[in-house]
Amino acid sequence: MVLDKPLGVTSTQAVGKVRWLFDANKAGHGGTLDPLATGILPIALGEATKTVSYAMDGKKTYRFTVAWGEERSTDDLEGSVTKQSPERPSYKSIEPILSDFIGEIQQVPPAFSAIKVEGERSYDLARAGAAPDLAARPVLIEELKLVEPPDPDHAIFEVTCGKGTYVRSLARDMGRKLGCFGHVSALRRIRLGPFSETDAIPLERLEEMRHKPPGGNAMDGFLRPIATVLDGIPALALDEAQTQRLRLGQSVLLRGAKAPIASDAVLVTLGQKPIGICSIEQGSLKPKRLFNL
């Protein structure tokens, strides 16, 4: 299902609530949102948790507000002020720098992030007063645009980016480039992979449906097929005999002139039923994650 995560709730808390609402035996989410962030949070239930990594690999689009004049320890509103400036950028000064942050760029993650440093989470070290110097990493930003500057102290942007990109780092680095400092004051994920805001269900609506009188399957109406999150990978239809071989952990030789030689991930189906995710190596289908449906 696709949750519209509310403000002030961690991704873990949101997953726990949804798991309880649907009485699921297990659950996972497709990409963490900080407590101060809202928006699209795909949540996988039961066997669908085997697809979480594919949701996390999808392109993401965020709408975010940068507050100028202050850099903070967390690069968002939660942190303490570390640097200040009386300077404020104009619309004309912001537009020219955006191209510097588009494409594959080197980005230093925030000190308050989940990145591990010698077995410890960076945010744990930072909270203990020993914030590590994190190395820059390559990230992909496909699009970055200035939506509007509502007032001299703020600017609203939209960014489409790949896995591992930190919007907080982007705000920090734009502030430094402009010579005025900056931090994220509002953040909303408006797209992730195949999901947009129109797909997202507010948590309060789920809670309301939970309290409806018994009867029917109103909650099930919020669930999407497993294959929804796998739209970005190829699909391959199998017959009963091939499916049985995969379920026994055996590979399946693909025959025919159009049979693919290699693929890291392919969704295999039996009729309309998803069977699992396989790889193709030297013309043979090998099981990776099979669904127990």
**What is the spatial distance between Cα 129 and Cα 107, in angstroms, rounded to a whole number?**
22
44-65 b/e (C-beta count within 10 Å ≥ 16 → b) = bbbbbbbbbebbbbbbbbbbbb
Of the candidates 4, 23, 34, 100, the residue annotated as catalytic is 34
153 is catalytic: no
> What six digits make up the tokens of 25?
């035996």
Neighbours of 119 (CB within 10 A): 5
Neighbours of 264 (CB within 10 A): 11
Which residues are within 8 A (CB) of 94 and not within 5 positions of it... i.e. 6 or more apart?
146, 149, 155, 174, 178
Q: Is the dihedral of CA 216, 219, 224, 226 positive or negative?
A: negative
Burial class for 261, CB neighbours closer than 10 Å (0-12, 13-18, 19+): exposed
Q: Which residues are catalytic?
A: 34
